[in-house]
Structure 1
Amino acid sequence: MHLMFIFLTIFFHYVACLDYDGWMNIKVDHSLNCASEKYCKRGTITLKSIRAGTAIIDQIPFNRKHIKELQELAELDGFYTIRTLVSTAEGKEIEFLSSVKAKGLLENGLSDIISAWVLPSGEVIAVTFQVMNSTQTNALNLDSEYPINSDFYLRHVDQAPVPDTASYIQKLEREREAREKGELKDNRSFLAKYWMYIVPIAVFVMISGAGNPEGAAQPSR
């Protein structure tokens, strides 16, 4: 009965991990036009269902001061950085930082890609930020507002298989016990068993033969 309870507990925990679903909220901050603060609000990304992966993106458009600071960074070949704070239904909050070249963001007309990498258990292990590699420069028109064009992707990460260490240790233990009881037969050949003794003797014979060549022919009398 006790073993059955343990089995059912493990089973239901495994199923729960596979069928995990819940909401996710990603607060997006950036380092432009933030006055005295290092980071200030850029927007939010909300998912009602992690399994569905459909996101609602709400971002504050850039103004002329944002663009000016971004252009100054681009002239210095600097980076534009975002900070994401991920909140889930389990009450966890995780912070990630990611950067792209400011020049690249300008050339792509403030178009970027944000991706959240999620384990089967629903745990977010990374949030990445990138711009598409584009050969065409999208110039920004002189305006009072510049909308940010973001695509969001939920990336599912498959965990690598865990080695069955316990079974391997049990196998080694069984082999050790069998050897101690004399139940484990050694079916190796004679050479496979005793090569460590045969090789030194063979090398010694070869060296002795090389050091004592046959005597030279006797001169005729």
Structure 2
Amino acid sequence: MRVVISIILLSTISFVNFIYCIEVEYDGQMTVKLEHALSNDADPEFSDRGTIDVLSIRNAAVVMKQNTLTDTEAQQLKTLSEEDGWYLLKAIINNGDERRANLRTFVKACSLYESRLSDTLTITLDHTGWPVGISMLAYPTQCDGRIVYPSDLVNFNTTLFIRHMEQGPIPDTATYIQKIEREKEARERGETKDNRSFLAKYWMYIVPVVIFVLLTGAVNPEGNPGGGR
């Protein structure tokens, strides 16, 4: 997998940002609706976190808008962190047609809490530009109990990466088949010489003979030809 697009955003308010990216063979738009869950219930309730509008994958034109955490949500995140729970994130991605991708990811709640809402999101696209995965990181990855004030839990500070998953090399089967056909025709015309050694050419005949001789010697060992006294 090779990173062919890097969209880096550090924002909590709506804005448009144009950043250099490696040229790709396709272009398109995506709307990413983010929802998060601040509890580890069996059936957690997700609430709106914000949206990311990718206006152009090729030109890296992005509009990001994320909601601020309420006092209640900040307290829920703190409680979830103290309980060593998981922060759950859902991404509902639409690229303008009727298809929609529903992706999920998670991170340690204490990591997001101690990072003061600084996280990194990575959306992975397949070779057609369709989103197939999302991942999330928050630093520090190992929680050490650092002090976080309520004023630190207001705005998300998000970095976004978009990665394109490139297809591997395709074997040239046509050339290989042509080579096999040429070799076959040359053998039929007698144009090719067998340069293998004697053993390499006739091992299938030699091995049975050797096995037969060994078995015969084991049945009739020397010094007792007739089995008599």
TM-score scaled to structure 2, two decimals? 0.70
Tell me, yes or no, if the aligned pair for 1:108 and 1:134 is still in contact at 8 Å.
Answer: no
Greater CA drift, 85-94 or 41-50:
85-94
Alignment of 1:54-133 (within 5 A): 54-132=61-139, 133=141
Greater helix fraction, Structure 1 or Structure 2: 1
1:195 to 187, 203, 207: 203
User: 2:45 matched to 1:27?
Assistant: no
Aligned to 1:45: 52
Tell me, yes or no, if the aligned pair for 1:109 and 1:139 is still in contact at 8 Å.
Answer: no
**Helix, strand or coil for the counterpart of 1:95?**
strand
**How big is the shift at 1:156?**
2.4
Q: Equivalents in 1 of 2:30, 2:145: separation in Å?
A: 34
The residue type paired with residue 148 of structure 2 is L
User: 2:170 matched to 1:162?
Assistant: yes
> Which runs of 5 or more structure 2 residues have no equivalent in the other structure?
1-23, 225-229
**How big is the shift at 1:41?**
0.9
**How big is the shift at 1:125?**
1.9
Q: Equivalents in 1 of 2:102, 2:176: separation in Å?
A: 39
CA deviation vs aligned residue, 1:58-105 (integer Å, no higher than 9, x gap): 111112211222222223322110100111145532110000111111
**Helix, strand or coil for the counterpart of 1:113?**
strand
**How big is the shift at 1:152?**
0.8
Aligned to 1:182: 188
**How big is the shift at 1:203?**
2.7
Q: Equivalents in 2 of 1:165, 1:39: separation in Å?
A: 50
**How big is the shift at 1:32?**
3.0
State the structure with bigger RCO (CA 8 A, min sep 6), 1 or 2: 2
User: 2:159 matched to 1:147?
Assistant: no
Tell me, yes or no, if the aligned pair for 2:53 and 2:63 is still in contact at 8 Å.
Answer: yes
Change in Cα spacing, 1:63 to 1:71, as seen in structure 2 (3 Å) is: same
- For these two proteins, the number of residue pairs brought into alignment is 196
Aligned to 1:10: none
Change in Cα spacing, 1:196 to 1:175, as seen in structure 2 (3 Å) is: farther
CA deviation vs aligned residue, 1:123-177 (integer Å, no higher than 9, x gap): 22212111123677653323496111111111222211233445556666x3797
> Which runs of 5 or more structure 1 residues have no equivalent in the other structure?
1-17, 217-221
- Give the % identical residues: 33
**Helix, strand or coil for the counterpart of 1:48?**
strand
